[in-house]
Amino acid sequence: MNAFEIRGGNKLSGSITPQGAKNEALQVLCAVLLTDAPVTLKNVPDIIDVNTLIELLEDMGVKVSRPVPNTVVLQADGIDPDYFNTHAFKKKSGKLRGTVMLAGPMLARFKKAYIPQPGGDKIGRRRLDTHILGFEKMGVAFDYDQENQMFSLNGTNLHGARILMEEPSVTGTANLLMAAVLAEGMTTIYNAACEPYVQQLCLMLNSMGAKITGISSNLLIVEGVKTLGGCTHTLLADMIEVGSFIGLAAMTQSELTIKNVNLESLGIIPDVFKRLGIDLSINGDDIYVPAQDHYRITKFIDGSILTVYDHPWPGFTPDLISIMLVVATQAKGTVLIHQKMFESRLFFVDKLIEMGAQIVLCDPHRAVVIGLDKQQSLRGINMVSPDIRAGVALLIAALSATGKSTIQNIHQIDRGYERIDERLNALGADIKRI
C-alpha cells in the first residue's frame, strides 16, 4: 500500500485541525536525552519520521509510553551510549534527518556522539558543517570516516564558547543549544535560527532548568547548568500543514476552516498566500478560506512580476515553496518561484507540466508559473512522490485535476502528514490507499 489513487475535482468543505509540528517533534524528542527524569510531550504527530525517532530512542534504552493518542512520555534513565556506534543505529538513523540532533544531547550528557549520514528529503546537498564547526568551538574533537560517512565526536572537553554560525541552520542551532545547556560556562550562538520550533525547544529546555536568553532572536545566550529535570511540553501546530491546507482550499475551490493554527507562530505565511490572491480571514486562532472561483497574483508595488522565495525565519519557509508553486498553477497572473536554499526541490514540476500546468523551469532553483486562472483544469496522471512537500503538492494538484491520478511512493508523504488520506476524505476528497 505505497500509492494513492485520487479522483480529482471534488470540492471539499468543513474544518480541519493541523497535526502537531513534525520538525518541532524531532527537536524536542532529541532533548529528552538531556535528563534522566520523565518528559511528557503532547500533540506529537503520529507520522513515520517521528515514530522512527521514538523507536530509535527506545532502542537506545529510553522508556517510552503513550498514555493517550499523540502524547508520549519518555524517560532516558538507562541509556547505552555505545549503541550509537552500532550498525543498527546507523541504519535507523539514516531514515530521517532529525536524528542528527541526537548528537548535541549525547555530547552534553555522555561526552561522546556519532553522526552517521542522516536521511530525510533528498533535496540537495545538506551539509553538516555548521553543526560540526560549532561543536568544535565548544571543545569537541571530531573524526570523519569518509568511507562510512560517519562523524565520531569526543566531548570530554565540552565547554561554553562564542559561536558565530556561518548560516542559521535550524537543526544546527538545536544541536548546539542542546550541547550548550549542560556545558560548563557561557555559550553564545550568534546567527542562530530563530523559527518558532527553535523557540519552542528553548522554552522546553528552560522549563527543564536550562538558562537560555535571547529566545526568538538570532543571538542565543546559554549559561550551562549541571543537570536538567523533566517537564511537560505541548507542541505547536504544524505550520507546513496549515500552509498545505490553505493551498488545497484554493486549488480545489473549497471552503475550509483550519482550526487552532497558532497564528502568532505562522509569521508571514498567511500574507504570502494573500500575495497569490488567496482570500483568507482570521477568526480567533482559526483561518477561514472561502471557496474562490479565481484568485489573482499580485504584483510588486512598482508593477513588476511577483517573486516568492524562501529565507531563514522570519522569512518564508522553504518547506512551503512547492505548495506555493502548485497553487500558482491555477492563479491568474505570473509569479517567479525561487527556491534558494535547496537545489533539487523543484524537479517535480515536470509532473505538473505533464498535467497541463504552464511552468518554465529556468534552473534548479527557479520556476516561472503562468497561472491557468481555472480556464482549464489540470488532468490526472501517474506520478511518484519525490519528497515530502513535493508529494503533498502533487496530491493537491491531483485533487484539483479532472480524472484519476496515482501517486507512488507515498511513504514520503506519510513521513510528515498524519493519516492525510482519511483526514482529507472526511472533507469530501476521494483518495484511496492502494
Ligand X SMILES: CC(=O)N[C@H]1[C@@H](OP(=O)(O)OP(=O)(O)OC[C@H]2O[C@@H](n3ccc(=O)[nH]c3=O)[C@H](O)[C@@H]2O)O[C@H](CO)[C@@H](O)[C@@H]1O
Residues that bind ligand X (CB under 6 A): 23, 26, 97-98, 124, 126, 167-172, 312, 317-319, 341-342
Size of the site for ligand PEP (CB under 6 A): 12
Listed ranges 96-104, 263-271, 283-291, 398-406: which one lies at the site for ligand PEP (CB under 6 A) = 96-104
Is 204 annotated in a binding site? The answer is no
Q: Which of 388, 392, 397, 431 binds ligand PEP (CB under 6 A)?
A: 388
* Cα(148)–Cα(421) distance, integer angstroms: 38
Is 319 annotated in a binding site? The answer is yes
Listed ranges 80-88, 90-98, 188-196, 302-310: which one lies at the site for ligand PEP (CB under 6 A) = 90-98
Q: Which does 169 bind (CB under 5 to 8 A by kind): ligand PEP, ligand X, none?
A: ligand X
Does the annotation count 121 as an active-site position?
yes
Residue placing its CB nearer to ligand PEP in the complex, 297 or 396: 396
Is 97 annotated in a binding site? The answer is yes
23 binds ligand PEP (CB under 6 A): yes
319 binds ligand PEP (CB under 6 A): yes
Residue placing its CB nearer to ligand PEP in the complex, 243 or 270: 243
Residue placing its CB nearer to ligand X in the complex, 3 or 44: 44
Residue placing its CB nearer to ligand PEP in the complex, 53 or 178: 53
Q: How far is the CB of 119 from ligand PEP (least distance, A)?
A: 7
Is 275 annotated in a binding site? The answer is no
* Cα(280)–Cα(295) distance, integer angstroms: 11
45 binds ligand PEP (CB under 6 A): no
* Order of strands across the sheet that contains 431-433: 382-384, 404-408, 3-7, 431-433
Query: Closest Cα partner for 400 from 381, 423, 384?
Result: 381
Q: How far is the CB of 364 from ligand X (least distance, A)?
A: 13
Q: Which of 161, 389, 396, 410 binds ligand PEP (CB under 6 A)?
A: 389
Q: How far is the CB of 321 from ligand X (least distance, A)?
A: 9
Q: Which does 320 bind (CB under 5 to 8 A by kind): ligand X, ligand PEP, none?
A: none
Q: Distance between terminal CA atoms of the chain?
A: 5
Of 80, 82, 121, 143, the active-site residue reads 121
* Cα(140)–Cα(152) distance, integer angstroms: 10
Give the torsion sign (CA, 422, 47, 170, 186).
Answer: positive
Is 91 annotated in a binding site? The answer is no
Q: How far is the CB of 127 from ligand X (least distance, A)?
A: 6
Instruction: Count CA atoms within 13 Å of residue 154 on its CB side.
Output: 6
Residue placing its CB nearer to ligand PEP in the complex, 224 or 416: 416
Q: How far is the CB of 10 from ligand PEP (least distance, A)?
A: 26
20 binds ligand PEP (CB under 6 A): no
Listed ranges 91-99, 159-167, 250-258, 292-300: which one lies at the site for ligand PEP (CB under 6 A) = 91-99
Look up residue 250 and give its three cell numbers: 484554493
**Binding region for ligand PEP (CB under 6 A):** 22-23, 49, 96-98, 120-121, 319, 388-389, 416
Residue positions in the annotated binding site for phosphoenolpyruvate?
22-23
Q: Which residues are catalytic?
A: 121
Residue positions in the annotated binding site for UDP-N-acetyl-alpha-D-glucosamine?
97, 319, 341
Residue positions in the annotated binding site?
22-23, 97, 319, 341
